[in-house]
């Protein structure tokens, strides 16, 4: 139910064009690639952090499984 409510607040096609034009006017054409590059690096580092956390949790789970099977 909450997913359907959130979909009502997403911009439609013409609103995306207006948003893109405002961003272009605010930052200019030369700054947008730098912004996207920085955004990409941020997303990559976030994914790396999530993967590291998953690896740590899996290692801890494996160690617990080993200690339980040794008893």
Confidence at residue 48, expressed as pLDDT on a 0 to 100 scale:
96
Q: Does the pLDDT of residue 1 top 60, yes or no? A: no
Domain edges within the chain: 2-70
The torsion angles phi and psi of 44, rounded to 5 degrees, stand at: -65, -45
Rounded mean pLDDT of 10-22? 84
* pLDDT confidence band for 38 (50 / 70 / 90): very high
Q: What percent of the chain has pLDDT over 70?
A: 86
**9, 22, 56, 67 from 42: Cα distances, Å:** 25, 23, 21, 38
First to last CA, the chain: 46
pTM score: 0.56
């Amino acid at each position: 139910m909450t997913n359907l409510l959130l979909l009502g607040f997403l911009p439609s096609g013409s609103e995306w064009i207006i948003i893109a034009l405002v961003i272009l006017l605010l930052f200019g054409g030369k700054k947008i690639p730098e912004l996207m590059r920085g955004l990409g690096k941020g997303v990559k580092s976030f994914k790396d952090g999530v993967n590291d956390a998953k690896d740590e949790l899996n290692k801890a789970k494996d160690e617990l499984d080993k200690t339980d099977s040794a008893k």
